[in-house]
Amino acid sequence: MYKLMKKSMNQKLILSAVSCLTAGFFNSAAANEFEVRGNIELQGRFFVEDALFPTQHDTYFSLAAAPEFFWSWNDGNDSFEFVPSARIDQHDDERTHSDIRELSWIHVGDDWESRIGVRRVFWGVTEFQHLVDIINQSDSVEDVDNEDKLGQPMVNLSLVNDWGIIDFYVLPYFRERTFAGDEGRPGLPIINADTAFYESSDEEDHVDWAVRWAHSIGDYEIGVSWFEGTSRDPLLIQSPLQNVVPELVPFYQQISQLGFELQANIEDALWKLEIIHNDNNREDFWALQGGIEYSQYGVMDSNADLGWLVEIAWDERGDDGPSTFQNDVFFGSRLALNDVDSTEVLAGLSYDLDFKSTSFLVEASRRFGDSLKVSLDVRLFESDEPQDPAYLIRRDDHIQLTAQYYY
Amino acid sequence: MKLLQVGLLTLSSMLAFSSPVFAGEAEDKGLAISKESKNRDLGWRDSQAEMEMLLKNQHGETSTRQMKIKSMEQENDGDKSLTIFNSPNDVKGTAFLSFSHPTTNDEQWLYLPALKRVKRISSRNKSGSFMGSEFSFEDLTSFEIEKYDYKYIKDETINGVDCWVVEQYPRDKYSGYKRRVVWIDKAEYRTQKTDFYDRKNTLLKTLTFSQYNQYVNKYWRASQLEMVNHQSGKSTLLTWKNYQFQKGLDEKDFNKNALKRAR
């Protein structure tokens, strides 16, 4: 579906057809509501060092849009959401892409809820890495932080009980991770994501399933989840195809993953922990991410809030495993001025204890007027160890300036 | 003695002077007035309304925040509320779920629509600014008797309304205030004005309630609340619109699933 979407030049047609159809249907229902919102964004990325690969550039501009259409009827007990997203990048053919983030029907019963269609779902409690979050594939060309997700087709039934919320998911189609193209930066032109390889002969048609129980008990938030199906995290393997130039291709394993999440709000601190156990045919492993968040409110007799974060990451597969965060420590600080323009600055640092490599980021944003938000991001990567996955992006330090118009 | 000095300043307090208040009596009277004020507001079951905040900084620059608030009364517990932000445009869809408790920690969750993430946030954020306004989180949570100690100060007429003046001392050590001084009218037990004193016992903010309307023949709600910060010169004007009571909201409108689909 994604590949089809990518090639489709008739995106606008599909979009208007869907909205006409659905609007026509819903107009017959009583007490219906229709709402449109979203944003349009212009972004520039400026790289300060010479590129590692000759195909890469120093300056990238891109334009993106993500409108959100929302209908509700039956007193709000039924609703329909449609969120397409698209980006056009000046150089990177793979970052020029579109996706359906949401296209789903939600029905609310007394103590249950069904959600059918393409959706995004977030699981987890930690900030620097999301180990437990597994339903959606990362849209990793959008940003280096992998926070952007591709829409996942699903049937989701959610049951609300006194002892917590339990969610069942059937996931009938798999989405491949997006990777930067030859000209993309940060990116590795040696990765060819045009052909993906799968452990299952069903490939992307393998039907995955998952279940999660989540509950709040006093000052504690607890979640336990189980996932069975195609790993969202590909292994990058030497292409089995006989290519002239050696290249890496994504390989998607079949896995069973147990996830555990815990957040404890004790006094002024939020303690956060995520643990996974991944069972697969290659190398079973445990991994964890955990730490503390502490906030000060109204610092220096002002309205400003200042937050502090420390987290650690550990992965049993160690420094020769595929995880970037196998033995890392993270520090973060977030300043929110709480002014009229919602000025915020976030600084984060991650340090790899095995490879002694560092990555550093600053994200600053504020609003101009009512609808324009401008963000300035600085990302610096430093690595001297060829075995370290971060070594390949060591020259990708960049400044990113984004202007988003919201409506 | 302090009480007498304050009392002598106003004419209305002459009444208090003529029937002197003994130690313990002021506390009891303060508690009784606050209790009656709370009692008169019991039984509203559920409500929903739209709220607009007009933020004004010391240079006169303004900015608005719009939100929808649904609340539900709980038996023998604090209220549950769901706040859905509608403006500025970049925070549209952000929603805030709060379970207020009289004696234990409040429970609060924030929904971030861009990440589809529900975050349990720290209920210690009492004194933090709500959406950049002069209202802090604790100014907006439901009033519960157990959250304060009380002391009746005097009678006073403000804007032609005859009031009792009661001091309220927050019991929570995370409160941003040393005390609040509340003017409660004698006719309907409605709060007319509140002075907030910071931890150093300096006057920080004044909140003025105006344009009271009565709903379902019982519950009074002010349509305008103006908070002025005396220390920073900033202010926030909060306007309530389209109040609706007893429309049948229930528990399923106040859980984490409801938070995720809040519009």
Q: Does the beta carbon of B157 lie under 8 angstroms from any beta carbon of chain A?
A: no
pLDDT at A239 over 90: no
Question: What pLDDT is attached to residue A235?
Answer: 93
DSSP state of A23: H
Q: Tell me whether residue A146 is exposed, middle or buried, using C-beta atoms within 10 angstroms of its C-beta: 0 to 12, 13 to 18, 19 or more.
A: middle
What's the CATH superfamily of B2-66+124-245? Lipoprotein localisation LolA/LolB/LppX (2.50.20.10)
Question: What pLDDT is attached to residue A339?
Answer: 86
User: What interface predicted TM-score (ipTM) does this complex get?
Assistant: 0.89
Q: How far apart are CA B254 and CA B260, in angstroms?
A: 10
Instruction: Give rounded-to-5 percent helix, strand, coil for chain B.
Output: 20, 50, 35
The per-type count for chain A, helices as H runs and strands as E runs, is: 2, 21
pLDDT at A57 over 70: yes
DSSP state of A51: -
Whether B256 sits inside 8 A of A113 (CB atoms) is no
Q: For residues A183 and A138, is the Cβ–Cβ distance under 8 A?
A: no
Determine what percent of chain A is predicted with pLDDT higher than 70. Answer: 92
Which one, of A382, A278, A261, lies nearest residue A321 by Cα? A278
Q: What is the mean pLDDT of each run of 10 residues along chain B (263 residues)?
A: 41 42 81 95 95 92 93 92 94 94 91 94 86 91 92 95 96 92 96 96 97 95 97 95 94 93 88
Question: Strand, coil or helix: what is A24?
Answer: helix
**Token duo for residue A400:** 């990113």
Find the farthest-apart pair of alpha carbons in chain B and give their distance in angstroms, rounded: 63
Three-class HEC string of A328-342: EEEEEEEEECCCCCC
Which one, of A329, A217, A362, A343, lies nearest residue B57 by Cα? A343
Question: What pLDDT is attached to residue B244?
Answer: 95
- Option in B105, B117, B129 nearest A122 (CB): B117
Measure A340 CA to nearest chain B CA, in Å.
6
Q: Which positions in chain B touch A263 (Cβ < 8 Å)?
A: 120
Q: Does the beta carbon of A303 lie under 8 angstroms from any beta carbon of chain B?
A: yes
Determine the average pLDDT of the residues in A161-178.
Answer: 97
Q: Does the beta carbon of B176 lie under 8 angstroms from any beta carbon of chain A?
A: yes
193-232 of A, contacting B, C-beta below 8 A:
214, 216, 218-219, 221
Question: What pLDDT is attached to residue A389?
Answer: 78
Q: Does the beta carbon of B105 lie under 8 angstroms from any beta carbon of chain A?
A: yes
Of the residues A123, A340, A372, A407, the best mutation for testing chain B's interface (the one with the most B CB atoms within 10 Å of its CB) is A340
Question: Strand, coil or helix: what is B221?
Answer: strand
- Option in A125, A216, A373 nearest B90 (CB): A373
Measure A101 CA to nearest chain B CA, in Å.
11
* Minimum CA–CA partner of B256 in chain A: A165
Interior CA angle at A363 toward A361 and A364, to 5°? 145
Q: For residues A176 and A204, is the Cβ–Cβ distance under 8 A?
A: yes
Which one, of A255, A254, A237, A238, lies nearest residue A246 by Cα? A238
pLDDT at A78 over 50: yes
Question: What pLDDT is attached to residue A267?
Answer: 84
Q: Which positions in chain B touch A341 (Cβ < 8 Å)?
A: 63
**pLDDT tens string A263-298:** 999 988 999 999 999 999 999 999 999 999 999 888
- Option in B89, B123, B256 nearest A165 (CB): B256
Question: Strand, coil or helix: what is A7?
Answer: helix
Contacts of A202 (CB under 8 A, 6+ apart): none
Whether A216 sits inside 8 A of B107 (CB atoms) is yes
Q: Which positions in chain B touch A214 (Cβ < 8 Å)?
A: 256
Q: How confident is the model at residue A31 (pLDDT cuts 50, 70, 90)?
A: low
- Option in A110, A339, A406 nearest B89 (CB): A406
pLDDT at A240 over 90: no
Question: What pLDDT is attached to residue A27?
Answer: 46
Three-class HEC string of B87-112: ECHHHCCCEEEEECCCCCCCEEEEEE
Which one, of A351, A375, A350, lies nearest residue A363 by Cα? A375
Determine the average pLDDT of the residues in A219-240.
Answer: 95
179-238 of B, contacting A, C-beta below 8 A:
231-232
* One-character DSSP codes across A315-384: ETTGGGSS-S-SEEEEEEEEEE---TT--EEEEEEEEETTT--EEEEEEEEEEETTTEEEEEEEEEEE--
Strand partners, B110: B96, B119
- Residue/partner pairs of A333-337 with CB below 8 Å, 24 or more apart: A333/A306, A333/A307, A333/A308, A333/A309, A334/A306, A334/A307, A334/A309, A335/A304, A335/A305, A335/A306, A335/A307, A336/A304, A336/A305, A336/A306, A336/A307, A337/A302, A337/A303, A337/A304
Determine the average pLDDT of the residues in A127-145.
Answer: 95
Residue A226 φ then ψ, to 5°: -135, 135
pLDDT at A24 over 90: no
Of the residues B54, B112, B122, B175, the best mutation for testing chain A's interface (the one with the most A CB atoms within 10 Å of its CB) is B122
The structural domains of chain A, ordered by start, are 2-406 (2.40.160.100)
In this prediction the pTM is: 0.89
Question: What pLDDT is attached to residue A12?
Answer: 40
Which residue in the block uniquely carries the two structure tokens 């394993």?
Answer: A253
Which one, of A127, A148, A145, lies nearest residue A334 by Cα? A127
Whether B129 sits inside 8 A of A305 (CB atoms) is yes
Q: Which positions in chain A touch B199 (Cβ < 8 Å)?
A: none
Strand partners, B226: B208, B237
* Minimum CA–CA partner of A342 in chain B: B132
Q: How confident is the model at residue A56 (pLDDT cuts 50, 70, 90)?
A: very high
What are the residue ranges spanned by the domains of chain B?
A: 2-66+124-245
Distances (CA, A) of A110 to A161, A313, B37, B251, B258: 11, 40, 35, 9, 12
Q: How far apart are CA A344 and CA A307, in angstroms?
A: 11
Q: How far apart are CA A60 and CA B240, in angstroms?
A: 46
Determine what percent of chain A is predicted with pLDDT higher than 90. Answer: 77
The alpha carbon of A146 is separated from its chain's Cα centroid by a whole number of angstroms, namely: 4
Whether B89 sits inside 8 A of A340 (CB atoms) is no
Question: What pLDDT is attached to residue B23?
Answer: 58
Q: Which positions in chain A touch B87 (Cβ < 8 Å)?
A: 370
Q: For residues B95 and B83, is the Cβ–Cβ distance under 8 A?
A: yes
Question: What pLDDT is attached to residue A388?
Answer: 81
For chain A, the average pLDDT equals: 90
Instruction: List the strands of the sheet with A197-198, edge to edge.
Output: A197-198, A248-252, A235-238
Q: For residues B216 and B15, is the Cβ–Cβ distance under 8 A?
A: no
Which residue in the block uniquely carries the two structure tokens 């995004």?
Answer: A120
Q: Which positions in chain A touch B259 (Cβ < 8 Å)?
A: none
Determine the average pLDDT of the residues in A388-404.
Answer: 91
258-287 of A, contacting B, C-beta below 8 A:
263, 265, 267-268, 270
Determine the average pLDDT of the residues in A81-98.
Answer: 97
Instruction: Fill in the amino acid letter for B37.
Output: S
